[in-house]
Amino acid sequence: MTTESDICQRLLEFAYDELDPAQAERFAAHLAACARCSTELEGIRRVRRAIPLALPQVEPPGSEARLMEAAERHRPRRRRLVMLARVASHPAYSAAACLVVLSGVLAFQIMRGRLGIFRRDVQEVSLPAPEAPFYAAPPPPAEASRLPAGAVAPAAAPSASEESRPRFAAEPKRPVANDDALATMKKAKRMAVHSASPPAEPLARRQMVAAKTADKAEGAAGEEGEAEESAVKGRVVSGVVGGAASGAAGAPLRVAAQESAPEREAERALQAGRCDQAVTLYDQLQQRDRRYQPPARIRAAYAHCLRLLGRTRQARETLDSLKAEKAVPTAEPETATPPVRAREK
Amino acid sequence: MVDESDESLMLRYCKGEVRAFEVLVKRHRKPVYNFIFRFVRDAAQADDVLQETFLRLIKSSAGYEQQARFTTWLYTIARNLCIDAARRGIHRQVVSLDAPFDGDGTATLGDRLAAEQAGTDREALGRELQLRVHTALAALPDEQREIFLLREVADLQFDEIARVVGCPANTVKSRMRYALEKLRVALEDYHEPSELSPPAGVRQELIK
């Protein structure tokens, strides 16, 4: 049954043509009898008449071409397969995968009260824990927290479970990745002393925050001081994560690229907030090599400076180039998060 | 391809067909830009947000599933970025004192209005109207303004707006009613020029 006030609720939909014909007809009949609705409707229509003039549709100033360029550059091509292949080929990722498998097995063993036999293995893996998750690909937080818990569980049944052993045999891969990644990380750390996060914070969480900061900062970069700092922070951390992956695969590492003296000076100026000086130095570098761009990890800050100096166009291009580069190492986490709305909220 | 639904175009882009995405861009760039522009009220910043919106769309296209309506997705991204941008805008006003070269956002509302309608008498007549609407919109609480803009500028239906902003449709409608009421009051003693109030028959057309 529809009461009077229920039907009054339909006013907006009626005013905006969202009712189906039958409902609209019913509402029109109601309108003749309801003074309140008809007054409100008249008010709404008056406002709506003013809108086309008050808020005329304007043409976007930028060009479609740039959007299409981006669409072309990031064109999805069977990303899932690519992703799997990549995961499989990066030791850092397989180390993370092993971690996941390992913790699954552990949980299974704990459930069956058979942990004792694995105690040594567990310690081997969990000892470097304060650093390990920092450069390995981020394991899901649940796994990260489960592992240390398993490591201190008491020894119980000494009987070896035959089917579990072979799974652990895959583990030796991990230290290999560690060595590479450790070297990488030391380098990256040297470049980014100021970005050290408090060690007490849970690691998985810290990574998620870092990833988020990087993501946010990308949009925010160059807007204000805070954003700049978090941009640099985020980028450095994600540089470490991405760098660990590419470093382990034997590719040259962006973060650790050779830097010339003017570059170092420019970077110091940038970090000290002397935008004009930094930009002048980078200009000189770019005069020498037209394709030169500051290293990715500080490019957001550089863009910020450009913008402060009124060179918004160049700032935007710089950010775009950054996004384009960043798109490669972050492709996995991004594609791995499927539901659209959940991600955006 | 022109009449194809947004969703199926998006799926084709996900399979690697860039042409399909071009149709989407042509279709939505202008309305999305207008929504963003009215939200952040700064042309340069709006352009940035527009680029970023499509970039996010592109980058997360691999996770696109047809169950989500394309426009819902698009405007969810745009709206979130607008909120971020508006937050930064508050800081920026402070920063811009030290950054006189910052070309963005320095023009006043009056300047922009004048530039927007360099012009004709008919538009000059509307200047007062524009000022009234802009002022009233600026005075609205954010959650009312965004709904007003999503409905009037982006032309989304109320149930879709509810999904974009993540609250019940009834809440959306009541916010919209508040917004409309405040705008109505703002226009109360404004006399519509005769050409703005056509006879009742034409009125319906104009509204659509």
Q: What is the Cα–Cα distance from A176 to A247, expressed in whole angstroms? A: 12
ipTM of the complex in this document: 0.77
Q: Which among A57, A72, A225 is the nearest to B30, CB-wise?
A: A57
CA-nearest of A291, A239, A238, A302 to A267 is A302
Residues A234 and A276: beta-carbon distance below 8 Å: no
Does B29 contact A53 at a Cβ distance shorter than 8 Å? no
- Lowest-confidence range among A29-33, B57-61, B198-202? B198-202
In angstroms, the CA A179 to CA A186 distance is 11
Instruction: Provide, as residue numbers in chain A, all residues whose Cβ is less than 8 Å from the Cβ of B207.
Output: 17, 45, 48-49
**Which pair of tokens denotes residue A289?**
């090599």
- A72–B contact, CB cutoff 8 A: yes
Contact A12 B176 (CB under 8 A): yes
Please report the pLDDT score of residue A268 as a whole number: 81
A86 to chain B, any CB pair closer than 8 A? The answer is: no
**Contact at 8 Å (CB) between B180 and A43?**
yes
Average pLDDT (B43-68) is: 86
Q: What is the pLDDT of residues B141-192, one digit of tens each?
A: 999 999 999 999 999 999 999 999 999 999 999 999 999 999 999 988 776 6
Distance from CA of B5 to the nearest CA of A (A): 18
A39 touches chain B (CB under 8 A): no
State whether B166 and A16 contact (CB < 8 Å).
no
Centre a 10 Å sphere on the Cβ of residue A99 and count the other Cβ atoms it contains: 23
Average model confidence (pLDDT) across chain B: 79
Q: What part of A 178-217 touches B (C-beta under 8 Å)?
A: 216
SS3 A210: helix
- For B82, the closest chain A residue by CA position comes to A219
Structure tokens at B69: 């309506």
Residues 6 or more apart whose Cβ sits within 8 Å of residue A24 = A14, A17
Q: Is A75 on the interface with B (CB under 8 A)?
A: yes
Q: Do B22 and A309 touch (CB under 8 A)?
A: no
**Within 13 Å of residue A99, how many CA atoms lie on the same side as its CB?**
29
**What is the C-alpha separation between B7 and A267, in angstroms, rounded?**
45
At A20 the pLDDT is: 94
> Is the CB of residue A66 less than 8 Å from the CB of residue B17?
no
B47 and A61 in contact by Cβ < 8 A? Answer: yes
Whether A74 contacts chain B with CB within 8 A: yes
Position B94 confidence tier, pLDDT thresholds 50, 70, 90: very low
Length of chain A, in residues: 345
Candidates B84, B177, B192; nearest CB to A12: B177
Amino acid A2: pLDDT: 53
Q: Are B146 and B39 in contact (CB under 8 A)?
A: yes
Identify which has the larger pLDDT, A203 or B13: B13
Closest CA to A222 of A295, A309, A294, A150: A309
Q: Which of B18, B95, B208 comes nearest A71 by C-beta? A: B18
pLDDT of residue A269: 80
Q: Which residues of B touch A312 (CB under 8 A)?
A: 44, 102-104
DSSP assignments along A269-280, one per residue? HHHTT-HHHHHH
* Residue A219 Cα, gap to closest chain B Cα (Å): 7
Partner residue facing A334 (CB), from B26, B59, B91:
B59
Residues of B in Cβ contact (< 8 Å) with A344: 56, 60, 73, 76-77, 80
Give counts: helices (H), strands (E), chain B.
10, 0
CB within 8 Å of chain B, chain A residues 162-181: none
A258 touches chain B (CB under 8 A): no
* More confident of the two residues A165 and B14: B14
The pLDDT value given to residue A204: 47
- Chain B residues lying within 8 Å of A327, measured CB to CB: 59
A324 Cβ contact partners less than 8 Å away, ≥ 6 residues apart: A70, A73
Q: What is the pLDDT of residue A4?
A: 64
pLDDT value for A245: 37
User: Is A303 near chain B, with CB under 8 Å?
Assistant: no
Chain B residues with CB-CB distance to A43 below 8 A: 180-181, 184
* Residue A325 contacts B, CB cutoff 8 Å: no
The per-residue pLDDT for B194 is 53
Mean pLDDT per segment of 10 residues, for chain A of length 345 residues?
74 95 94 93 94 90 84 70 52 62 68 54 41 40 41 39 37 43 51 41 48 46 41 39 38 48 81 76 81 80 78 80 66 39 41
Q: Enumerate the residues of chain A whose CB falls inside 8 A of the CB of residue B26.
A: 64
Phi, psi of A309 (to 5 degrees): -85, 10
pLDDT at B164: 96
pLDDT at B202 over 50: no
Contact criterion met (CB below 8 Å) for A309 and A273: no
Whole-number Å distance between alpha carbons of A41 and A178: 69
Contacts B101 to A, Cβ<8 Å: 308-310
